Amino acid sequence: MIPRSDLFRDLSGSYELTSGATVSGPADLVDAVRLALPVLDLRPGDSGAVDLRLDPALGPEAYRLTVGSRGVEIAAGGRSGAFYAGQSLHQLLPPSSYRFSAGTAWNVPGVRIEDAPRFSWRGLHLDVARHFFPKREVLRLLDLMAVHKLNRLHLHLVDDQGWRVESRAYPLLHEIASHRARTATNFSRDPESYDEIPHGGYYSLEDLAEIGAYARARAVTVVPEIDVPGHAQAILTAYPEFGSSDDRWQVLERWGITRAILSPKPPTVEFLTAIFDELIGALGETPYVHIGGDEVVLDHWAESKEITAYRDSLGLSSNGELQAWFLRRLADVLAERGARAVVWDEAFVSGELRPDTLVMPWRGMGVGRRAAAAGHDVIATPVFPLYFDYAESASADEPMAIGDAITVADVAAFSPVPDDWTREERVRVVGAQAQLWSERIPDPRTLDYRTWPRACALAEVTWSGSAGDDFPARLDEHLGRLDALGVEYRPLDGPRPWQRRRPHRPGKVPVSEVMKRLNAMTHDAESTKPTV
Ligand code: ACM
């Protein structure tokens, strides 16, 4: 089983589950188990082959599952717990049960499982800005996350290279900022080359509503990200009036960062408030909104007399503090709407944030520790080993990646809570999340390859706290489930011939060098200065 359950005991005997068997219990739990096990075509009834009950003594995601000779019993702490019991029961059936053409009777081995997650945030991030992934791909990713008990989908909805959601209040965002004429194809720091192919796309508000509902049904919370005040070139292509200079922009066609930065003044806050209202209105219940704060180039703030005067009027002495002030304003707006802000770690380093803001330390757990010590909840997101846009191995056979290498074993060995942290710091870590930045993930087939099976290791670490010794053996078996689900994962011994594509450039950007540079940056930033 992946992820590993807390307790798994073989019982003698088994039970034959047949298609169309009855399931009994509270309606929302029944609904969750039916959704987790569509192959069984379970029918609600008074008493059944599968009996469900709510046990308020269990946490909302916890469950107990017993398969005995008289049937299946599930006790769950809530709808999510019942959904996860259904997923675990599914994994007791053979891999072919993940196919639509599966059989109609299943011999389920007798077991007793008691299970609860170690971390409440078990996340995947998907950058739909650098390359757009249509709604159907997002729904499919949610299905695959559900199989692995992953429960946060962080959608990076805007960056310099594109804006990806309809706005009725500011329609030029989806009309103009959602596409670019061409896309860079060169490897890091090599001479620029472009594909000369237009790229674009965006989710309608109806799409977003569907994604939110689909995710909720599968115990996943969607975390939308509007990355500000930097990474703003697409936004400023559509609405330059929210910028900090007289520059005119066009949606960026290459990778890297730019000087495009939103103005921190009240009209920008009003603009973003309208965007938040549209996003939250469409997604439905939205407990978290990510507001970015990474890689901000503050030059245009420093050069603007108007923004400097505004900063002075607020009694702030640095542009880093002004950035933190701006993000605090946005976090207050979100709090009024029932959502907590999430930021990348530079935002924390820039100055004082709203205390309930969650921090994602991508530049390493050193800066994560500082955020935890300051009382922020922290989601472990370090480049090593959680940036899944890095190559799967240091081999030219891998598809072109940002750098190398992050292996399945690296992810499995990751501990979201470093041992040497104090108790107070450790309890601040709410979980971990892998990042799928999409500069080098141009299409869904590459997305499958980059995500799986590294995300299986992420699921194991975030659900169970650490990977078990038998993880490799369980993963081997689990790949049969991914085959049945039609996932084009990376085979453990390397890519299939057609998965090689444009060759990776091993050795050019080793992840150890990247981490050294990022750690040095955060160290300098003892100073609270932004890092770029
Ligand atoms: C990031 O990688 N800029 C969060």
Other Cβ atoms less than 10 A from the Cβ of 424: the count is 10
Positive or negative: CA dihedral 288, 289, 295, 297? negative
Ligand 1 atom having least distance to the Cα of 295: 3
CA contacts within 13 A on the Cβ side of 492: 14
Rounded Cα–Cα distance for residues 511 and 99 (Å): 38
Q: Give a yes or no: residue 532 inside a domain.
A: no
Average pLDDT per 10 consecutive residues for the chain, totaling 532 residues: 95 94 97 95 92 98 97 98 98 94 88 98 99 98 98 99 98 98 93 97 98 98 98 98 98 96 98 98 98 97 98 97 98 98 98 98 97 98 98 96 96 97 98 98 98 98 97 98 98 97 90 88 51 36
**What is the predicted pLDDT for the residue at 104?**
86
Among 402, 125, 130, smallest CA distance to 251 is for 130
Amino acid at 334: L
Pocket of ligand 1 (CB under 6 A): 294-295, 344, 362
**What pTM was computed for the model?**
0.97
Q: What is the CATH number of the domain that holds 17?
A: 3.30.379.10
Which of 125, 156, 231, 290 is an active site residue? 231
**What is the predicted pLDDT for the residue at 526?**
39
> Could you give the angle at the alpha carbon of 11 between the alpha carbons of 10 and 15, nearest 5°?
110
**What is the predicted pLDDT for the residue at 351?**
96
Among 64, 85, 115, give the residue marking a domain's end.
115
Q: How many residues does the chain have?
A: 532
Among 98, 115, 132, give the residue marking a domain's end.
115
Q: How far, in Å, from the CA of 486 to the mean position of ligand 1? A: 30
Domain enclosing residue 313, as ranges: 121-520
Among 434, 416, 293, smallest CA distance to 354 is for 293
Rounded Cα–Cα distance for residues 342 and 331 (Å): 9
Are residues 333 and 295 part of one domain? yes
In the chain, the number of structural domains is: 2
Phi then psi for residue 127, to 5 deg, are -85, 105
Closest C-alpha residue for ligand 1 atom 2: 362
Q: Give a yes or no: residue 14 inside a domain.
A: yes
Helices (DSSP H) in 50-201: which residue ranges? 79-92, 135-147, 172-176
Among 75, 74, 72, 64, smallest CA distance to 110 is for 72
Q: Give a yes or no: residue 36 inside a domain.
A: yes
Which of 294, 295, 392, 460 is an active site residue? 295
Q: How far, in Å, from the CA of 387 to the mean position of ligand 1? A: 9
Rounded Cα–Cα distance for residues 307 and 348 (Å): 21
Q: Which residues contact 510 (CB under 8 A, 6 or more apart)?
A: 394, 403, 404, 405
Are residues 79 and 45 part of one domain? yes
Q: Give a yes or no: residue 526 inside a domain.
A: no
**What is the predicted pLDDT for the residue at 525?**
45
Which of 115, 127, 159, 225 is an active site residue? 159
Are residues 226 and 95 part of one domain? no
Phi then psi for residue 206, to 5 deg, are -65, -40
Are residues 136 and 15 part of one domain? no
Are residues 241 and 374 part of one domain? yes
Q: What is the CATH number of the domain that holds 367?
A: 3.20.20.80
Q: Give a yes or no: residue 530 inside a domain.
A: no
Per the annotation, the verdict on 295 as an active-site residue is: yes
Helices (DSSP H) in 259-387: which residue ranges? 266-283, 299-303, 305-313, 319-336, 345-350, 365-373, 383-386
Ligand 1 atom having least distance to the Cα of 387: 2
**What is the predicted pLDDT for the residue at 523?**
62
Q: Give a yes or no: residue 463 inside a domain.
A: yes
Are residues 107 and 161 part of one domain? no
Are residues 143 and 63 part of one domain? no
Ligand 1 atom having least distance to the Cα of 294: 3
Are residues 54 and 25 part of one domain? yes
Q: Give a yes or no: residue 238 inside a domain.
A: yes
Are residues 475 and 327 part of one domain? yes
Burial class (CB in 10 A: 0-12, 13-18, 19+), 192: exposed
Phi then psi for residue 476, to 5 deg, are -55, -45
Check: CB of residue 357 under 8 Å from CB of residue 349: no
Q: Give a yes or no: residue 529 inside a domain.
A: no
Q: How far, in Å, from the CA of 126 to the mean position of ligand 1? A: 12
Check: CB of residue 340 under 8 Å from CB of residue 223: no
Q: How far, in Å, from the CA of 343 to the mean position of ligand 1? A: 10
